[in-house]
């Protein structure tokens, strides 16, 4: 169920705008480099390294790979359709988990797509990217043939719809000839397989059908199929990809290559309608959802279309004739109509909810009915699994056919509604609250369904020391906005607004833009919805404006005449030309840069404020780190007192935390209770980080003795209830951990100490199942506390049923504590890449534990 720094250029079709970027200098002892190319983030570099390791070596393989790699530019509008290519087959894999279900294994996908392209002139295949595990992501387009000129005309109209929606609304050409884009996303959860097979069948039918309805559909729409969004999980039978990520939770942060590929499809193709095919809920669950509803999109337009399409899909699914008594299939359900709460569209982390911000006015999660994964996969007879999978393919196929009928019948109104989404954004128009009057034909609309927000006139990401906490974080945030197709400008001169002066180079996000909803959902604080529903399906608070480490504010107006559009953020990389160097450790990229220097044997010391002091003799290495990680090394007269050491980490953590630790450049060895019980070489690591998967009570006597011996001379960093439990069991910190409501999550206000661990840390954090600490012993230092009053800024945090565990209980309590050999976090500083600005807190904690142990 349910980044690179180079941003593709948007075609300029109306007004040519000069793009200017203020120059910056990266100084080395030998040279000054103006405007160095912006580096890949560390995790992207690792992905490129993995890709390079897979590069074919024979001339024939290289030629084929080059041909396929060229097709990854999925926004190429210089060619018409079809766009045929011969895909190289993958080696047969008898271990592919889909085989047992009678479904299409991944290695059979490329040959099937080759065969489908050969059926006629309607099917095109492109490679949209690669998975974390290196598998190709196939995007199939089905449409009536187009000449290159016709394709350029479609691109021009698509751009007009977004960039000049008021003109587009009056365009006879768009009404008559624009092809409505439809996006079908399959198999984002790898062990929810059948959407892939249903789409392959649908493509074959569309490729060969000669009836008038099909010809009309393809003449007036383009149908895009992401055949399998998660080939890693499809093969392995896992929900997650090869990095262990649930990608249907990743659309705010886009940490995974598959999600970045899906994001780019939505940006480039601008779908008006999309389906995300999942499993398994019996009866088939078809969105729209229960409250709360996302407050940043135009919900009146969204609900009108999603509900109408849901009714058609429901009729098609029920019309298949499957029954509870005969087949075990319950009638389809529509949560908006059939449920009170529990299946919401509040966070934009899910694929359909994210798609809405790119102009998709009918976007659905569809949960097909018959479970074939997890326990069922392992215990049911193969014949029963195949019976269920066949039903699921039928159900998914019915949803596809109904959606295509819906698009054919409503193409003009769907396109008009997409235009209206963009028009409201560009004009700064008010949202339209849903009601039975504004959304006719949708029964049961009540006050519980009304969610709107107030958009600021503009956001500002200021430049300059004293106003911008982190230039590195600001550049990352700007590039992330651009990658999400949010329009960003940069001040060519200083300006003054609202009584404040902003430096040259400050970024401004004018909220009168087509995708204002997406800009706001990424930058705004969000809302406390604790009183709206009893529980949430997933997270309910997020804010890259608060949590990614950059200073972000709002403006009462826009300083016209000084702003220039940007395609990429200006690099933050800098090295002072002389003297010793200071590297602030306030950002994960700075932690990664420090780790790279330590691995090279550079002698680095820590200052009292937690920053790293690098000797001037290492300027060349610092310059390379600055370029690679986009960080600044400033001149300093501080000498630093405490040597910093290369820190190798044993980690019992979630996949997201493991990913974050490696992104920061730590050498990490995953451990667990089972790993320790099997015997673990503690001499290979310098610190232990624990949040999950390591229970002191379940260790064998020998493993417990070895762990205790390690912790006697080394350090523990713990997170959440799991980390606190280990801290208590080993007696490293005299403190009582208190667990808050396990359903609570969101953005919170915090108060930081001024010590080396938290100096310069953001004043907001993220919690999920929050923890705080009481009864602190004499050697325990409070590094951070939850703010007084109600610390929750946005999200959902209620008291537990017994009246405890709410935000009032946490207010003013310690959220992070430390001692000589342990640091414990009650917050979630590494949660799914959301609190990027907090990553460095964990990095500093791990370095402090290595220092405590005196490791080399």
In a domain, 629, yes or no: no
Q: Cβ-count burial of 291 within 10 angstroms (0-12 exposed, 13-18 middle, 19+ buried)?
A: buried
Span 606-633, mean pLDDT?
A: 97
Q: Are residues 101 and 210 in the same domain?
A: yes
Which range scores top for mean pLDDT: 17-21, 351-355, 756-760?
351-355
Q: Are residues 389 and 266 in the same domain?
A: yes
Span 313-323, mean pLDDT?
A: 98
The answer to whether 480 and 255 have CB atoms below 8 angstroms apart is no
Query: Is residue 553 helix, strand or coil?
Result: strand
Q: Where does the pLDDT of residue 851 fall: very low under 50, low under 70, confident under 90, or very high at 90 and above?
A: low
* Residues 162, 791: Cα–Cα separation, whole Å: 39
Q: Where does the pLDDT of residue 852 fall: very low under 50, low under 70, confident under 90, or very high at 90 and above?
A: low
Q: Cβ-count burial of 448 within 10 angstroms (0-12 exposed, 13-18 middle, 19+ buried)?
A: middle
* Residues 358, 273: Cα–Cα separation, whole Å: 11
Give the count of domains, the chain: 3
Listed range (113-117, 385-389, 711-715, 851-855) with the worst mean pLDDT:
851-855
Higher pLDDT, 28 or 562: 562
Residue 129's H or E segment, with its range, is strand 123-130
Alpha carbon 121 to its chain centroid, in Å, reads 36
The CATH number of whichever domain residue 755 belongs to comes to 3.40.50.880
pLDDT at residue 73 tops 90: no
Q: Are residues 405 and 525 in the same domain?
A: no
Backbone angles phi, psi at 774, to 5 degrees: -130, 180
Q: Are residues 489 and 538 in the same domain?
A: yes
* Cis upstream peptide for 292 (omega within 30°): yes
For residue 468, the model assigns a pLDDT of 97
Q: What is the mean pLDDT of the chain?
A: 91
In a domain, 705, yes or no: yes
In a domain, 642, yes or no: no
Q: Are residues 359 and 490 in the same domain?
A: no
Q: Give the 3-state secondary structure of 416-475.
A: HHHHHHHHHHHHCCCCCCCCCCCCCCCCCCCHHHCCCCCCCCEEEECCCCCCCCCHHHHH
Q: Of the residues 515, 547, 565, which one is the last residue of a structural domain?
A: 565
Alpha carbon 179 to its chain centroid, in Å, reads 29
Q: Are residues 466 and 525 in the same domain?
A: yes
Higher pLDDT, 852 or 528: 528
In a domain, 683, yes or no: yes
In a domain, 518, yes or no: yes
For the stretch 246-265, pLDDT in tens is: 999 999 999 999 999 999 99
The CATH number of whichever domain residue 385 belongs to comes to 3.40.630.10
Q: Write out the residue range of the structural domain in which residue 661 sits.
A: 648-853
DSSP secondary structure letter of residue 81: B
In a domain, 305, yes or no: no
Q: Tokens representing 822? A: 């342990």
In a domain, 251, yes or no: yes
Q: Tokens representing 453? A: 């927000």
Q: Are residues 669 and 534 in the same domain?
A: no
Say what the pTM is: 0.91
In a domain, 495, yes or no: yes
For the stretch 415-427, pLDDT in tens is: 999 999 999 999 9
Q: Are residues 779 and 655 in the same domain?
A: yes
Q: Of the residues 418, 445, 468, which one is the last residue of a structural domain?
A: 418
For the stretch 816-826, pLDDT in tens is: 999 999 999 99
For the stretch 497-515, pLDDT in tens is: 999 999 999 999 999 999 9
pLDDT at residue 103 tops 90: yes
Q: Tokens representing 226? A: 């992401």
Q: Are residues 173 and 110 in the same domain?
A: yes
Q: Of the residues 537, 565, 593, which one is the last residue of a structural domain?
A: 565
* Residues 279, 12: Cα–Cα separation, whole Å: 41
Q: Are residues 528 and 406 in the same domain?
A: no
Q: Are residues 256 and 146 in the same domain?
A: yes
For residue 14, the model assigns a pLDDT of 32
Q: Which residues are catalytic?
A: 375
For the stretch 729-760, pLDDT in tens is: 999 999 999 999 999 999 999 999 999 999 99
The answer to whether 624 and 33 have CB atoms below 8 angstroms apart is no
- What CA–CA distances, in Å, run from 443 to 304, 310, 434, 437? 11, 13, 11, 11
Q: Are residues 92 and 216 in the same domain?
A: yes
């Amino acid at each position: 169920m349910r980044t690179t720094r180079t941003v593709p250029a948007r075609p300029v079709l109306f007004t040519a705008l000069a793009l200017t970027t203020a120059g910056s200098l990266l100084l080395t002892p030998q040279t000054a480099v103006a405007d160095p190319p912006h580096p890949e983030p560390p995790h992207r570099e690792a992905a490129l390294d993995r890709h390079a390791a897979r590069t074919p070596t024979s001339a024939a393989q290289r030629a084929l790979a080059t041909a396929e790699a060229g097709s990854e530019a999925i926004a190429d509008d210089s060619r018409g359709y079809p766009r045929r290519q011969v895909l190289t087959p993958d080696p047969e894999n008898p271990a592919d988990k889909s085989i047992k279900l009678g479904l299409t294994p991944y290695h059979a996908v490329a040959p099937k797509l080759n065969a489908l392209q050969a059926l006629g002139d309607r099917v095109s295949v492109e490679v949209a990217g690669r998975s974390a595990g290196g598998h190709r992501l196939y995007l199939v387009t089905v449409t009536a043939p187009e000449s290159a000129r016709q394709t350029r005309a479609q691109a021009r109209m698509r751009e007009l719809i977004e960039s000049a929606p008021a003109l587009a609304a009056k365009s006879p050409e768009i009404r008559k000839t624009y092809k409505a884009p439809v996006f079908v996303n399959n198999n984002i959860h790898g062990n929810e397989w059948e959407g892939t097979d249903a789409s392959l069948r649908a493509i074959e039918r569309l490729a060969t059908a000669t009836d008038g309805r099909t010809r009309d559909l393809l003449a007036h729409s383009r149908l895009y199929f992401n055949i399998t969004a998660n080939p890693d999980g499809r093969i392995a039978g896992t929900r997650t990809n090869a990095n262990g990520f649930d990608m249907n939770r990743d659309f705010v942060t886009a940490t995974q290559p598959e999600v970045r590929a899906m994001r780019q499809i939505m940006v480039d193709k601008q779908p008006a309608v999309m389906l995300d095919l999942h499993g398994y809920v019996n009866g088939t669950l078809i969105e729209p959802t229960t409250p709360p509803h996302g407050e940043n999109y135009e919900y009146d337009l969204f609900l009108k279309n999603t509900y109408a399409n849901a009714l058609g899909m429901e009729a098609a699914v029920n019309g298949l004739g499957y029954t509870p008594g005969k087949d075990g299939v319950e009638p389809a359900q529509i949560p908006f109509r059939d449920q009170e709460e529990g299946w919401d569209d509040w966070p934009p982390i899910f694929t359909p909810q994210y798609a809405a911000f790119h102009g998709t006015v009918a976007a659905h999660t569809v949960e097909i009915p018959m479970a074939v994964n997890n326990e069922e996969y392992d215990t049911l007879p193969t014949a029963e699994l195949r019976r269920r999978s066949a039903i699921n393919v039928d159900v998914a196929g019915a949803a596809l056919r109904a959606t295509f009928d819906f698009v054919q019948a409503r193409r003009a109104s769907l396109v008009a509604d997409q235009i209206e989404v963009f028009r409201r954004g560009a004009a700064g128009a008010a949202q339209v609250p849903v009601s039975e009057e504004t959304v006719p034909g949708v029964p049961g609309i009540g006050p519980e369904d009304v969610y709107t927000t107030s958009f600021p006139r503009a956001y500002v990401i200021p430049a300059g020391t004293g106003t911008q906490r982190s230039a590195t974080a600001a550049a990352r945030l700007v590039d992330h906005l651009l990658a999400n197709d949010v329009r960003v400008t940069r001040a060519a001169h200083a300006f003054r607004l609202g009584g404040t002066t902003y430096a040259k180079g400050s970024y401004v996000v004018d909220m009168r833009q087509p995708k204002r909803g997406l800009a706001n959902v990424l930058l705004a604080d969000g809302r406390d919805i604790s009183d709206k529903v009893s529980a949430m399906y997933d997270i309910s608070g997020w804010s890259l404006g608060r949590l990614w480490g950059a200073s972000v504010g709002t403006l009462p107006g826009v300083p016209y005449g000084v702003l220039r559009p940007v395609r990429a953020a200006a690099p933050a990389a800098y090295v002072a030309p002389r003297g010793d160097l200071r590297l602030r450790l306030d950002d994960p990229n700075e932690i990664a840069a420090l780790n790279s220097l330590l691995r090279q044997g550079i002698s680095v010391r820590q200052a009292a404020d937690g920053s790293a002091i690098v000797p001037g003799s290492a300027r060349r290495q610092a310059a390379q780190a600055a370029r690679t990680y986009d960080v600044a090394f400033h001149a300093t007269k501080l000498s630093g007192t405490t040597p910093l050491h290369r820190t190798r980490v044993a980690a019992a953590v979630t996949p997201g935390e493991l990913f974050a630790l490696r992104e920061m450049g730590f050498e990490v060895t995953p451990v667990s209770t089972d790993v320790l019980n099997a015997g673990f070489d503690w001499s290979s690591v310098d610190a232990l980080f624990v949040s999950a998967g390591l229970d002191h009570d379940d260790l064998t006597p020998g493993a417990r003795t070895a762990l205790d011996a390690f912790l006697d001379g080394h350090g523990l960093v713990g997170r959440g209830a799991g980390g606190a439990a280990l801290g208590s069991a080993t007696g490293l910190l005299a403190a009582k951990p208190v667990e808050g409501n396990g359903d609570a999550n969101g953005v919170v206000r915090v108060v930081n100490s001024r010590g080396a661990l938290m100096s310069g840390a953001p004043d907001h954090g993220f919690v999920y199942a929050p923890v705080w600490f009481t009864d602190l012993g004499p050697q325990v230092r409070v590094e951070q506390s939850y703010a007084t009053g109600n610390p929750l800024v946005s999200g959902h945090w209620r008291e537990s049923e017994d009246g405890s565990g709410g935000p009032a209980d946490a207010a003013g309590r310690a959220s992070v504590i430390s001692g000589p050999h342990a640091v414990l976090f009650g917050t979630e500083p590494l949660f799914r890449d959301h609190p990027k600005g907090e990553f460095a807190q964990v990095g500093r904690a791990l370095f402090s534990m290595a220092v405590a142990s005196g490791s080399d």
